Amino acid sequence: MKTKIRFAAALTAVALAATLALPSEADARRRGHGWAIGAGILGAAVIGSAIANSAYAYPAYPVYPAYEVEPVEPYYVAPRQRCTHVDQFDHNGNYFGTRTVCR
């Protein structure tokens, strides 16, 4: 879409420059300023389109300063112990309490 608009603007500028630069039949004498006006309009159109198309004219998104995350050193994590309660019995099979066993 931008290419079509740019092409139409350039075509209009060239047509306007040609109209101003070439003398008409009624005014065939040489004034000397027609080509300068046409060249000025054409130059302004080319320079203006170059400035408007510049990628560095305005950023498309806000630019924020970057920050760095400090690397975290790996540390040792001991495996989790599984503790259970085990019933205690004597040699005759009589219950006399529980004991915590961790593995």
- Tens-place pLDDT, residues 23-48: 656 555 666 677 788 888 888 888 88
Tell me the two tokens of residue 64: 């924020």
| Residue stretches of the chain with pLDDT short of 70 | 1, 11, 16-32, 54-63, 65
Q: How far is CA 91 from the centre of its chain?
A: 78
Phi, psi values for residue 88, rounded to 5°: -110, 135
Q: What is the DSSP letter of 47?
A: H
pLDDT at 66: 73
Q: What is the DSSP letter of 66?
A: -
For the entire predicted model, the pTM comes to: 0.28
- Strand duo 95-102 + 83-89: pairing: antiparallel
